Amino acid sequence: METDVVSHCVSLFLPYTVAFHDAAALEETAETVLQAVANRSRTGSNGELASKPSQASLLNGPTAPLTPGIQTTDDLFRTDSLPDATKLHFAKPGDPRSLVRSDVGGPDWGAQAIFNQPTSTAGPLPSGSILDFAQVHEELEKKRQEARKRVKTSSPPSRASRAGSHDRAYDGKQWTVEPGLQGNGGLSNAMRALVDMGEVNISWIGTIGFPTDVLPVSIKEDISDLLSTNYDSQVVYVSDKDMDGHYSHYCKTILWPIFHYQVPDHPKSKAYADHSWEFYKTVNQAFADKAIASYKRGDKIWVHDYHLLLVPRMIRQKLPEAQIGFFLHTAFPSSEVFRCLSTRTYLLEGMLGANLIAFQTEEYAHHFLQTCSRLLTVETTADGVQLEDHFVNVTNQPIGINLHAMEVARNEPEVQEWMKVVQERYKDKKIIVARDKLDNVRGVRQKLLAYELFLNKYPEWREKVVLIQVATSTSEQSELLTTVSDICSRIDSVHSTLAHQPLVFLKQDIGFSQYMALLSIADVLMITALRDGMNLTAHEYVFCQDGRAPIGNKKYGPLILSEFTGSAAVFGGAQISVNPWDYQQQADGIKKALEMDDVTKESSWKALNRIVTTQTGGHWARALSEALAKVYDEHATRARTSVPRLSVNKVTEKYKEAERRVFILDYEGTLAPHRTNTGMPLSSPQRILDALMELMADSKNIVYVMSGRTPEELESNFRVLPSLGLIAENGCFLREYGSEDHAWQRFTDEEETAKWKDQVRSILKYYEDRLEGSYIEERHCSQFFRYDKCEDQEAAIRFAGECADQINTACRSMGIHAVPIAKAVLIEQVGFSKRTATTHLFDQLRERAIARGFQLPSFLLVAGDDREDEVVFQWANELAKAGTIRDVFTVSVGKRNTVAQNTLTQGTTGLLTTLQKLAKASTESNPGDYFNRGRGQGSA
């Protein structure tokens, strides 16, 4: 239970909106409205496909005796300006907490008139012409300065004086809170499921879904007060122009196509200055400011979807200790597509302000990690992104549906009535149902072409099947609508008869109850989206096919699903998976679904239903909340400011008590500073040698130095300490402490290493030839692509990211990976590290101690500073937790977040001072044998 914790759900649109009413409208009862709908006279089609004669309603009335045409709409489904038009979107109109459609199919922002809401006052955006750029830039800058000045100097006017003459149209209007038309219905339903379980308090932050410039300030404040008090919602008010530039011009024109693998071929994307980016930043800042103002210590902040990619970082800058999660509901494209965005770096850095970034599927998470590695040249792991001073976790968790709310909605009398009507209308027919937004992402054109091929290829099905395609359209898809119209007309003219119409195409939406009825009586659901983050219509269909509907006997219907949807990855394989670009496969998939035997249908449905009923919306919300809490605690533990400083007195005390001790010390960056700016190789200062020599003078001590350097370099640097234990090339080589023959043990296979290095070298050579000043550094078991001497560091970073990405993609099967490090890319084998080497040396120590009757070491000190040392810290901490070694000290001298239990703020100087103090403690308690100093007399 987290009832004391507030989770702020930051989404572009609140799950609530406002309906404005005249006094007469409020007196009109629901029965009157429904009667008006039923009694409306038939006026025929009003759609763009008007070349056909008007047709009988899909879900009402007898079958037309003439050959049916393509239906666009009829009076029963006309929703413009009718109060009951809300039935399109909600299970219970008038109930603000009603179940909302999971799919994102509401009207465009600023265009709806269902709730008598204002229309947008936003004018055209500034010119993108290079000729107008200077003037436009100056105008924008001047307006921003004036706005800042007004905020600083103006005091709030009284309510009576706030409404200007342009606001008076809404003076005196009554209003009510309704379920939101805009936004993410799947998110709203999932969060309501979590609230119903009483597990968390949700506070929503978002806009109310319509233009607000014309509203008097007094009404805005009243709306904010009511939503805050009764609905736990904080309203973000932005100007119509800002919202229009953000939502219509940047999100929908630029980001939406990119995130669905369609590089926008739009004049805006080619403009010299795309001013919509400025509006995107402005709206994101408004959301960040509202979240910051609403935050209390201990709260969680969840930011949702591509509309608000910059918000996590904006909040992080003001609330560095806040728990921030980000969830992307859409797909995330490959790095090749994402890099087409001119603002790519800002967007990635904005997302990386979160503690946890979550995606719908593992594929999208992988694409994000790959994009960060390539475009930001940062280190990525399977768990997230390592930035300079902290780690950002990345995970995937698919969203689901609200099962309880779906069950209640399905049992509504109106749904059952529609089930009767539809089953009677298509008695003895196989019904394929599809409902999509008519855009270039949902794959409606591909689906209709495949259905046409199916009818041509399998003519025996022509009079036995009907495809009901509901297509909600936007005004911007006229070209696509014309193409779809041609396909529909062709199917109609070739395959329709006097008695049967195999395709019913509705260029309109249908009511929520009709939607539920279609899912319940369908024989097949067909989804052919070209890309989709998740498709919850598929989940709702599976739920409705359980056979428990009060009306009808349809159950276990097959699901035809595009392989490019997130749902396909979640379902695994129980669906009929199709490539929407493969029309033949789709046609065969339709035949397979229609002819599937009952046993197979039941088996497939049970597999799908098992996922739908476990991966619910409530489960999704709970899992993300728990994951954020977990990673936040881990980050707090690893944060350098949270790790306690090493107590030298305590170390000295435990050191004196121990009979056998082990020291494992990183070299470069820990015992000694990193290589100089000139790139000169590092030699060991005398103080380092003295400190190590003094430690080794005590026969109870075993000392190892670990490094990424080659064995030859380490032998040269420590030639005066021949008994010193050495770990070279980050764990690929080991020289045992006190070894008489000074032999090196190699852990990697020399032939295999030479093989992968040859292949990687060709890739490195390609980039070396194209990047002046770069060079390749060879080591026995690793390679470096260095660009520290390049003059153009911006180009070098870009090439380095591409190089690392190409190696990781092309050579993954070889057991190697490329890791961006400071001004270089390191290529090394995955299976070998400092941890594997330290594990090996400790196992040897234990075996020899047992064989010779010695005591196991009871004191271990590990010191390091960078990513390679973290695995050794983790290994040592595990030994301490298991009780294998009594006293374990893991010490970080670096600036990054760490799993080490202690830090030394003085860096290398502090570590050397500590080591010399411990050596002095040995001398005081037991004067050393200075003739054998440094020869490893105490080696096991």
CA-CA-CA-CA torsion sign (259, 260, 266, 270) = positive
Phi, psi of 559 (to 5 degrees): -120, 120
Q: What is the distance between the alpha carbons of residues 218 and 164, in angstroms, rounded to a whole number?
A: 11
317 occurs within a structural domain: yes
Please state the separation of Cα 606 from the chain's center in Å: 29
Is the pLDDT assigned to residue 273 strictly greater than 60? no
The domain boundary residue, chosen from 571, 590, 615: 615
920 occurs within a structural domain: yes
Report pLDDT for 134.
62
Is the pLDDT assigned to residue 128 strictly greater than 60? no
Q: Are residues 875 and 782 part of one domain? A: no
Question: Are 903 and 893 spatial neighbours (Cβ–Cβ below 8 Å)?
Answer: yes
Is the pLDDT assigned to residue 527 strictly greater than 90? yes
CA dist 567 to 521, 539, 686, 808, Å? Answer: 22, 8, 63, 27
Q: What is the distance between the alpha carbons of residues 541 and 108, in angstroms, rounded to a whole number?
A: 26
Assign 92 a pLDDT band (cuts: 50, 70, 90): low
Is the pLDDT assigned to residue 718 strictly greater than 70? yes
HSE toward the beta carbon, residue 861, CA cutoff 13 A? 24
Helix, strand, or coil (residue 277): helix
Give the rounded percent of residues in the chain with a pLDDT score beyond 70.
81
Report pLDDT for 29.
39
Q: Are residues 901 and 844 part of one domain? A: yes
Q: Are residues 674 and 531 part of one domain? A: no
897 occurs within a structural domain: yes
Q: Are residues 660 and 672 part of one domain? A: yes
pLDDT, tens digit (0-9, with 9 covering 90-100), for 669-710? 899 886 544 444 444 578 899 999 999 999 999 999 999 999
Bridge partners of residue 391, in order along the sequence = 386
Ramachandran quadrant class, 232 (left: phi over 0; alpha: psi -120 to 50; beta: rest): left
Closest CA to 861 of 849, 845, 872, 846: 872
Question: To which residue do tokens 């080619």 refer?
Answer: 270
Q: Are residues 349 and 304 part of one domain? A: yes
244 occurs within a structural domain: yes
Q: Are residues 466 and 386 part of one domain? A: no
CB neighbours of residue 524 within 10 Å: 23
Question: To which residue do tokens 């219907």 refer?
Answer: 557
Q: Are residues 770 and 722 part of one domain? A: no
Which amino acid appears at position 41 of this protein? Answer: S
The domain boundary residue, chosen from 396, 412, 436: 396
CA dist 502 to 460, 463, 471, 493, 527, Å? Answer: 12, 7, 16, 11, 18
Q: Are residues 521 and 381 part of one domain? A: no
Domain with 809 in it: 750-829
Bridge partners of residue 234, in order along the sequence = 205
The domain boundary residue, chosen from 615, 640, 666: 615
CA angle 36, 42, 47 (to 5 degrees): 105
Is the pLDDT assigned to residue 224 strictly greater than 70? yes
Report pLDDT for 499.
87
What integer is the mean pLDDT of 653-657? 94
154-163, 277-286, 374-383 — which one is most confidently predicted on average? 277-286
Q: Are residues 867 and 791 part of one domain? A: no
What integer is the mean pLDDT of 35-44? 37
Q: What is the distance between the alpha carbons of residues 857 and 701, in angstroms, rounded to a whole number?
A: 9
Strand order across the 323-327 sheet: 233-235, 200-207, 2-13, 300-304, 323-327, 356-359, 391-396, 384-386, 379-381
What integer is the mean pLDDT of 735-760? 92
867 occurs within a structural domain: yes
The predicted model scores a pTM of 0.81
| CATH code for the domain of 428 | 3.40.50.2000
Q: Are residues 668 and 731 part of one domain? A: yes
Assign 37 a pLDDT band (cuts: 50, 70, 90): very low
Question: To which residue do tokens 């499921």 refer?
Answer: 193
CB neighbours of residue 582 within 10 Å: 14
Tokens read off for 908: 């290398």
Count Cβ atoms within 10 A of the Cβ of residue 27 and give its class: 0-12 exposed, 13-18 middle, 19 or more buried. exposed
How many helices (H) and strands (E) in the chain? 30, 29
| CATH code for the domain of 708 | 3.40.50.1000
Helix, strand, or coil (residue 284): helix
806 occurs within a structural domain: yes
Q: Where are the alpha helices (DSSP H) in 48-201?
A: 133-153, 185-196
457 or 868: whose pLDDT is higher? Answer: 457
pLDDT, tens digit (0-9, with 9 covering 90-100), for 533-553? 999 999 999 999 998 876 767
pLDDT, tens digit (0-9, with 9 covering 90-100), for 875-908? 999 999 999 999 999 999 977 788 899 998 788 8
Residues comprising the chain, all counted: 940
Check residue 91 and report its DSSP letter.
Answer: S
Q: What is the distance between the alpha carbons of residues 190 and 197, in angstroms, rounded to a whole number?
A: 11
Which amino acid appears at position 834 of this protein? Answer: K
CA dist 833 to 708, 816, 840, 894, 928, Å? Answer: 10, 12, 11, 19, 34
Question: To which residue do tokens 């689906």 refer?
Answer: 447
Is the pLDDT assigned to residue 57 strictly greater than 70? no
Q: Are residues 754 and 722 part of one domain? A: no
Is the pLDDT assigned to residue 61 strictly greater than 50? no
Report pLDDT for 23.
57
Helices 793-810 and 362-371 pack at an angle, to 10 degrees, of: 140
Is the pLDDT assigned to residue 616 strictly greater than 90? yes
| CATH code for the domain of 808 | 3.90.1070.10
181 occurs within a structural domain: no
Q: What is the DSSP string of 778-806?
A: E-SSEEEEE-TT-S-HHHHHHHHHHHHHH
Q: What is the distance between the alpha carbons of residues 125 and 371, in angstroms, rounded to a whole number?
A: 31
Q: What is the distance between the alpha carbons of residues 8 and 205, in angstroms, rounded to a whole number?
A: 7
639 occurs within a structural domain: no
Phi, psi of 939 (to 5 degrees): -70, 145
Tokens read off for 707: 């490094």
Determine the longest span between alpha carbons in the chain, in angstroms.
113
40-54, 586-600, 804-818, 885-899 — which one is most confidently predicted on average? 586-600
Closest CA to 596 of 519, 538, 523, 528: 523
Check residue 118 and report its DSSP letter.
Answer: P
Tokens read off for 56: 């009988």
Q: Are residues 844 and 821 part of one domain? A: no
Q: Tell me how many domains the chain contains.
A: 4
Q: What is the DSSP string of 859-910?
A: EEEEEE-SHHHHHHHHHHHHHHHHTSSSEEEEEE-SSS--S-SEE-TTHHHH
CB neighbours of residue 490 within 10 Å: 14
